[in-house]
Structure 1
Amino acid sequence: MPMVVDRARRMRIVATCLLVAMALIYVATRRYEGLHPAIGFIRAFAEAAMVGGLADWFAVTALFRHPLGLPIPHTAIIPENKDRIADTMASFLQANFLTPQVVARRMGAVNAAAAAGAFLSDPRTGESRLRDGAAGLLADVLESLDPDELGGLAKGALRTQLEKLELAPLLGQLLGAAIADGRHMPVIESLIRKAAETIEANEPLIQSTIHERANTILRWTGLDEKLANAILDGLYKLLAETLVVPDHPLRRKIEEGLATLADDLVNDAEMRAKVERMKHEVLANPAFGRWLDGLWERGRMRLLQVVRNPRGALGGQLGASLAELGNALQRDVRLQKVVNRFARRTLVGVSTRYGAQIVRLVSETVKRWDARTVTDRIEGAVGRDLQFIRINGTLVGGLVGLVLHAMDVML
């Protein structure tokens, strides 16, 4: 950006010096016009060039500020109409880039998978440019956008998807699949071991409770202690047998209970309604909102750390994995079709659901910039070309003046 500003400043100096030169030539030729007929042509060129240069200087300056600081109507157009420019830019973006038809048509003509594969498989372009170029761009975007509004957009989308998701059938299917594959057994065994550890850690409490509830005769004869030890020994034995005997009745009861729970989650309307109520209670709980805020902030900060240090984040094993993925995307036609279809559907869905929110985010971000920031950024981007307009206006005006003077002499 500083280099662009320097080039624009140099062109502004050139255009201004050209205008001053025309003014000096005009003054000189006015004084010595009678010495030779050719001087009249030079004067006409300089006079018209000076008028054209001044007119274009006024037009270019009026875009960004008041010429000479004078509050002339219809000047300082960009800072005075900053909000309208932001709305117009957002509407243009949505109408020409974020409609489902445009996105689908563009993505249908692009082999995004092959392009991504070629990019990732070349270590000179894939890894380094992905780390340095894309990471820097992503960091600039994340830091320029309003974190609260961007976070609200992300959290709102996540909350909406959670509200739409029917949780009970999903949990039931996951539990049923785990039981069918035997993946529930390590969990049951872990719970049994945890129960034994809990009993062992609370032996004094159990013995004290039995002692307090025993009658006087048991306490006097010391049978309460023997009763407590017998109960503890029985519990330890039951848990140990459940742990080592595959067909133990308690183990079967636990498995039957899990199978019944999985079936109820899928088929029992009352159970599904109960899970939905629990889900909505959790989503409405302020604690969940605070947890979601913390999750978003941690994710955002972690992402910023990654993009600020792309060489550390994408080096080593991850860099090799990216190269392997790139090679697969280039060679496997079926994988390309799957990835391209997914990319097309994803982008069309994003444009359909969030197109209006994205352009509103752009519009409101530009509106929050102060007028000087907007002016400096636009002028830095196109200022050099605008100075060429001044130079061309000076030269074209001079040529027009030369033609008109020639016609006047001939007639």
Structure 2
Amino acid sequence: MKTAATGLLVLMAAIFAAARAYEYQYPWLSFVKAFAEAAMVGGLADWFAVTALFRHPLGLPIPHTAIIPRNKDRIGETLANFIKENFLIPSVVARRMQNIDVAGATGRFLQTPAGEGTRIRAGASRLIADIFESLDDERLGGIVKGAVSARLRKTEVSPLLGHALASAINEDRHVPMLEAAIRWTARALEANEPLIREMVHKKANWALKLAGLDAKLADAIIDGLRKLTVEMSTDPAHPVRVKVEEALAQLANDLQTRPETRERVEAIKEQLLDNKSVSLWIDTIWQKAREAVIKAARNPDAAFAGKLGEILKSMGATLESDPRIRAAINQFARRAVVGMSASYGGSMVKLVSETVRGWDAGTVTARLEAAVGRDLQYIRINGTLVGGLVGLALHAVDSL
């Protein structure tokens, strides 16, 4: 474009020279000469204006030239303030986010069959995998485990356990657990029968041993316990079973309402969290979760297949069809983005202004000229042609 604009200017100069040379023979060439002369003036004026934006014309330190290099710091601050005022103000971000359906887009993405939207899915999956692999595993794992541990310490688990136990009792979901406990007791009794007999033998006095009653007493105890487990497993209304259920109901109530019970549970929770075995367990969970995320991200088609794929598609359908869930997720996303803009908007603006300030004048000039230089050369071309037309019009008026 520079060549075209400069070539047009040279062409006008050649036309001017030719018209001036033959004007005395052909008077009508005065109009051509006027057009070419004014076109040269217009082209040179616009060349000076365009050049003055980026550098000194012909290297001469003419005042008010090389505007962009001299004002790059002010340009950076103006650009940063423009971004802040038009994009990073919380009210502006919130207004723009109102038109973005994050939940709906997520739902449609999760429901996309294999083969459709493959590039988007592959790109997103690759990004997720790269992020998880590039982050410091030990440091990130420590952050995750610390966050999980801190959340568990802040959460009072006693009311949650009490509510869960009460719900299970009300819906009879405790029955399979109770029956499993009875069966386990029966198996433990069978496995430890020699131990029970030995204990009875040791506790019996010499008279019982002399009469051989210790063995009969052990038989009676074992038979009684065995009969008790059989009756409890077959009779839902057995008195002992009813007592156990009453004790469970009382425990559920104590977990929710009794301060002493809640304090004991919290103390047990703290002891468990301080235990190294629990820390290793949390670490194992984190490692497996991280490996699962990376594996699924590296092979998104496999992740979206089978049971997991069905679950994800079901989640996607729910996100698209349930207005309450969509509204809640969109509200969460909107608040998160608005919160980020409020918290980090100033830092982003500072980053832009300091980045531009750190550029040297040549870098700023080259980048801006590459971005808008083509249109600026059109200005030179238009200036040449418009100048010529104005000169032609003025010459015509003067002649008339």
TM-score bracket, shorter-length normalisation: 0.5 to 0.7
Computed over aligned residues only, the root mean square deviation of the Cα atoms, in angstroms, reads 5.6
Structure 1 residue 348: Cα displacement: 5.3
1:262 corresponds to which of 237, 252, 263: 252
Identity of aligned residues (%): 37
Shift in CA distance, 215/297, structure 1 to aligned 2, threshold 3 Å: same
- Secondary structure of 1:300's aligned partner: helix
Please state how far the C-alpha of 1:258 moved relative to its aligned partner. Answer: 0.5
Farther off after superposition, 164-173 or 194-203: 164-173
* Cα shift at 1:345: 3.8
Asked if residue 341 in structure 1 is aligned to residue 327 in structure 2, the reply is: yes
Residue aligned with 1:110, SS: coil
| 1:337-396 CA-partner distances (Å, limit 9, x unpaired) | x233222343356568x959x97xx99xx9xxxxxxxxxxxx9xxx99987789999999
Match of 1:169 among 138, 154, 159: 159
* Corresponding residue SS for 1:246: coil
Helix, strand or coil at the partner of 1:123: coil
What does the per-residue CA deviation read over 1:272-294, in whole Å, with 9 as the maximum and x for residues that have no partner?
A: 22222222333344443333222
- Opposite residue 298 of structure 2, the aligned amino acid is R
- Which aligned pairs between 1:4-403 and structure 2 lie closer than 5 A? 96=88, 104-123=94-113, 128-129=118-119, 131-320=121-310, 322-323=312-313, 325-326=315-316, 329-330=319-320, 332=321, 335-336=322-323, 338-347=324-333, 350=336, 355=340
Worse overlay, 197-206 or 388-397: 388-397
- Structure 1: which amino acid aligns with 2:329? A
Contact 2:110–2:313 (CA<8 Å) still a contact in 1? Answer: yes
1:127–1:319 Cα contact (<8 Å) kept: no
Q: Secondary structure at the match of 1:183?
A: coil
With over 3 angstroms needed to count, the CA separation of the structure-2 counterparts of 1:249 and 1:289, relative to structure 1, is same
Describe the shift of the 1:123–1:384 C-alpha distance in structure 2 as closer, same or farther (beyond 3 A).
farther
- Cα offset for 1:127? 6.4
Rounded Cα–Cα distance in structure 2 between residues aligned with 1:130 and 1:215: 82
The Cα of 1:163 is off from its aligned counterpart by 2.8
Contact 1:168 1:272 in 2 (8 A): yes
8 A Cα contact 2:186 2:229, kept in partner? yes
TM-score where L is the length of structure 1: 0.60
What CA deviation, in whole Å up to 9, does each residue of 1:1-25 have, x standing for no partner?
xxxxxxxxxxxxxxxxx9xxxxxxx
Deviations 1:142-179 (A, max 9, x none): 22333344334433433343233221122111111111
Name the CA distance, whole Å, in 2 between partners of 1:207 and 1:386.
98
State how far apart, in whole Å, the 2-side matches of 1:292 and 1:386 are.
56
Q: Whose radius of gyration is greater, 1 or 2?
A: 2
Is the contact between residue 131 and residue 314 of structure 1 (CA under 8 Å) also seen in structure 2? no
Counterpart for residue 37 of structure 2: none
SS in 2 for 1:182: coil
TM-superposed CA distance for 1:313, in Å, is: 1.5
1: distance between equivalents of 2:314 and 2:164?
A: 31
Distance 1:349 1:284 in 2: 35
| 1:127/1:314 contact within 8 Å kept | no
- Relative to the length of structure 2, the TM-score reads 0.61
How far does residue 122 in structure 1 lie from its aligned partner after superposition? Answer: 4.2
Counterparts of 1:391 and 1:104 in 2: how far apart (Å)? 37
User: Which residue identity lines up with residue 253 of structure 1 in the other structure?
Assistant: K
Change (3 A) 1:220 1:96: same
Shift of 1:118: 3.7
Q: 8 Å contact 2:303–2:309 — kept in the other structure?
A: no
1:282-318 deviations in whole A, cap 9, x for unaligned?
Answer: 3344443333222222211111111112121212454
Greater mean deviation of Cα atoms: 148-157 or 230-239: 148-157
Q: Gaps (5+ residues) in structure 1? A: 1-17, 19-48, 57-87, 367-378, 398-411
Displacement of 1:256 in angstroms is: 0.9
2:356 maps to what in 1?
A: none
Task: Please list the CA deviations of residues 241-260 of structure 1 after superposition, one character each: whole Å capped at 9, or x if unmatched.
Answer: 11112221110110110111
- Report if aligned partners of 2:128, 2:297 keep a CA contact under 8 Å in 1: yes
- Secondary structure at 1:341's aligned position in 2? helix
Letter in 2 for 1:150: L
Letter in 2 for 1:96: L
Distance 1:204 1:324, change over 3 A: closer
Instruction: Assess if the C-alpha contact under 8 Å between 1:139 and 1:307 holds in 2.
Output: yes
CA distance in 2, matches of 1:273, 1:329: 40
Structure 2 CA distance for aligned equivalents of residues 120 and 385 of structure 1: 41
Partner of 1:39: none
CA deviation map 1:31-63 (0-9, x unaligned): xxxxxxxxxxxxxxxxxx9xx99xx9xxxxxxx
The alpha-carbon deviation at position 193 of structure 1 amounts to 0.8
CA shift, 1:102, in A, is: 5.9
How big is each residue's C-alpha offset from its partner over 1:212-233, in whole Å with a ceiling of 9 and x where there is no partner?
Answer: 2223333343322222122111
Contact preservation (8 Å) 2:114, 2:301: no
